[in-house]
Amino acid sequence: MRAVTLDRARPFLHEQARVVRDEVFGRRIFVRGVVEVSSYCRQNCHYCAMRRDNGLLERYRLAADELAELIIHHRPAAITDIDIQAGEDPVAVREVVLPLVRELRRHTNLGITLCLGTLSPYEYDQLREAGGDYYVIKIETGDADHYQFIGAPGMLAKRVTAIRYLAGTGWKVSSGFIVGLPGQTPVQVEQTLDLLAELPLAGCSVSPFVAGEQTPFVGAPCGDIDLTLDCVARMRLGAPHWIIPAVSAMRLVSEDGYVRAFNAGANLATINLTPRAVRADYPIYKRDRIIMDEERVLSAIEEAGCELSRVGIAEHLRKKNTC
């Protein structure tokens, strides 16, 4: 799958991806809420401002009962699924995420997505038994040497093994990668797309690189938005049934990048529900990141000529499996 698209072919590529998306999903966009429950992380990725060695970051770990109150009683009406994210923090998994998932499963019909990094099989199984539906585990790059160069967690092969384990134990799994990482070549982008196509995934994200503050890559240029959106389109054409999100970094590197993602075949938007008091302390790339609140998300969906899905991701995937 070619990762480089000539400018003159780009509009056709994106249009074809949009047509395929509409054939499978209609013009309906899934809307989930995200809560970022902990900024502690045991990993030391060169591209992420939450890396272990960032001693300037004020770390936090939220309380499960406060999050449950927020999600159960105060979430926007458009949200059908909740995404629980954290740095790779086993304490948060045990003390925050597990009780929160159990409480949400007990009191809501929300689909539950988790993005918590590489854990042990026992931890994955605990989270699944508690009520998790969908697990996000990103490979970031499909080239093993480049994976080591960017300081990603462990080894690429271990992440791939985790994806296969999760899929084999009942999870729906999504992955993700970054376009424009330092040292990345067009061939490596192609390798990444090819690897993802071979994995048992229900979805995948792609984000333009944004240099994290207090990281070895600080000052490196942002990833190219056009190439990022080309990857959205190519994933849609190669995997028509995937859940493919528009991500906030697209809007950071290009004012219309988020809307353009829907026009290139994306079908998932995320409303940030993390309490305002700690949002700046979850700097995936930088403290002044773009926060996609309800107003911004709904406006982008409308601008793209799309509509809200009344069916959640988890419900959609369950129905798909019974057809």
**pLDDT score recorded for residue 6:** 65
Strand partners, 306: none
Helix, coil or strand: residue 322: helix
Share of the chain above pLDDT 70, in %: 97
Assign 285 a pLDDT band (cuts: 50, 70, 90). confident
Strand pairing report for 111-115 and 134-136: parallel
CA distance 273 to 287: 16
Distance CA 192, CA 46 (A): 19
Question: Mean pLDDT over residues 108-114, rounded?
Answer: 98
Residue 110, pLDDT > 80, answer yes
More confident residue, 285 or 75: 75
Question: What is the phi-psi region of residue 151: left when phi exceeds 0, alpha when psi lies from -120 to 50, beta otherwise?
Answer: left
Give the chain's mean pLDDT: 96
For residues 289 and 284, give the distance between their C-alpha atoms in angstroms, rounded to a whole number.
Answer: 8
CB atoms within 10 A of CB 146: 20
Dist CA 192 CA 141 (whole Å): 6
> Per DSSP, which regions of the chain are E strands?
28-38, 81-86, 111-115, 134-136, 172-179, 203-208, 268-272, 307-308
Q: d(Cα 292, Cα 203) in Å, to the nearest integer?
A: 20
pLDDT tens, position by position, 149-206: 999 999 999 999 999 999 999 999 999 999 999 999 999 999 999 999 999 999 999 9
Contact (Cβ atoms closer than 8 angstroms) between residue 164 and residue 124: no
CA trace torsion 19, 20, 22, 28 (10° rounding): -130
- Split at pLDDT 50, 70, 90, the class of 321 is confident
Torsional class of 219: left (φ above 0), alpha (ψ -120 to 50), beta (otherwise) = left
Helix, strand, coil % in the chain, rounded to nearest 5 = 45, 15, 40
Domains of the chain and any CATH numbers: 7-322 (3.20.20.70)
CA-closest candidate to residue 217, choices 46, 17, 23: 46
Q: Tens digit of pLDDT for each residue in 58-109?
A: 999 999 999 999 999 999 999 999 999 999 999 999 999 999 999 999 999 9
Burial of 109 (0-12, 13-18, 19+ CB in 10 A): exposed
Per-residue pLDDT of 261-277, as tens digits, reads 999 999 999 999 999 99
Write down the pTM of the prediction. 0.96
